[in-house]
Structure 1
């Protein structure tokens, strides 16, 4: 079964210096029925105004993936370490007790736009504290995985994150590892269907909960950029 969640149904925030859309409960937006999905805790799209910054904060035991869509960001921890990531890159920050991260939009005239995911981390697993990946010009790229396969970001969880970049009319079928997945359109429209159900239609910013499907087929109706988060646990 595939259940759509439109962009209009998501939580919204507009603080002037920060605009955001929240898939799950986050900050001031609270829905007790939407506290996350399997090990996916947070899926936000946020826009920071030129020069704006998020003050350092600590996080629960999660792997944070920032997919930069526009602009350039700098992340700095309380040990003085810093790393930059620009449009076309993804950055993983492995949160630990006592470590805080701040974020700065480095441009004086360009907004910083990014997708942010939080994935619960297994306490028995370890990975590098900061990882960076460059997106390739291809229709499908494994963005993150439990073992860093194919040069992907290495997660502390049984999750596979796929980045999709499809041309109009292009179709792609991906197998799923377990009973749950989440599909997020970053921009563009598509149809999505499993083996035994009618296609569901998504437009820009829409998402979809995928239940009990062994594979998912996407067909782009416009130029499509999307994330598929495979959540078997």
Structure 2
């Protein structure tokens, strides 16, 4: 089965300094039909105005991934890390036993646009950790997250894989779903494509389960995040 979560059907809030869209229930947005998907708990698409951001706040026992699309995140946390995460970079943080952090847009000119993704861990109360990485922009599939950090991917404390997949326009691909990972979520970062005949576009999400294969045909050049989940 394939279910398309259209971008304009997501939860939405505009706080002036922050415009945010929620694929799943989050903060003041609640929909009992969208509480997450497998171990995915949050997919938020955020735009933060210049000089604004999220002040120090706590997390515990959650794997938190940020993918910067435009602009820069200035990150600071209670482990002593302070750095700027730039467009094209991924940041993973294991909250574990507990961590406080802040995220700001340090620019006075450019809006910060990023995805923040929460994934439930399969180990709790681990020592908190933090890591960032830039992955070269190449066509095809790149492994971004994995439980064993293979192929230079970032480690995550969950049995799952996250791939970034980039396509040219007018391409055809077949993706075979691994039996181990029977649940697949696709988040469209940019572009336009068809998944098993259904048209999906920038910021749409797709839940896939009880399928053996996915047929992908690109209408326009596209980038997707593909989560392989238990």
Residue 64 of structure 1 pairs with residue 64 of structure 2 = yes
Is 1:210 aligned with 2:208? Answer: yes
Q: How far 1:104 moved relative to its partner?
A: 1.0
C-alpha contact 1:65 1:91 (8 A) present in aligned 2: yes
Whole-angstrom CA distance in 1 between matches of 2:173 and 2:149:
22
User: Aligned partners of 1:124, 1:93: CA distance in 2, in Å?
Assistant: 13
Instruction: After the TM superposition, list the runs of 4 or more consecutive aligned residues in structure 1 that deviate by more than 4 angstroms.
Output: 124-128
* Residue aligning to 1:74: 74
Q: Across the two proteins, how many residue pairs are aligned to each other? A: 227
Over the aligned positions, Cα root-mean-square deviation in angstroms equals 1.7
Match of 1:190 among 193, 206, 209: 193
Structure 1 residues 153-196: Cα deviation after superposition (integer angstroms, max 9, x where no partner): 10100111111121101233333332211111112111112xxx
Query: After alignment, is 15-24 or 135-144 more displaced?
Result: 135-144
Alpha-carbon distance in 1 for matches of 2:98, 2:161: 27
Once the two structures are superposed, the pairs formed by residues 217-232 of structure 1 within 5 Å of their partners are 217-232=215-230
| Matched-pair contact (CA < 8 Å) for 1:127–1:155 | no
TM-score w.r.t. the length of structure 2 is 0.93
Q: Secondary structure at the match of 1:221?
A: strand
For residue 31 of structure 1, report the CA deviation from its aligned partner. 0.6
Q: In 2 relative to 1, CA 127–2 (structure 1 residues): closer, same or farther, beyond 3 Å?
A: farther
* Secondary structure in structure 1 of the residue aligned to 2:208: strand
- Residue-by-residue CA offset, 1:40-76 (whole Å, 9 max, x unaligned): 0000100010111201111231111100000111111
Distance in 2, Cα, partners of 1:127 & 1:142: 24
Deviation at 1:81, TM superposition (A): 2.1
SS in 2 for 1:223: strand
Residue 196 of structure 1 is matched in structure 2 by none
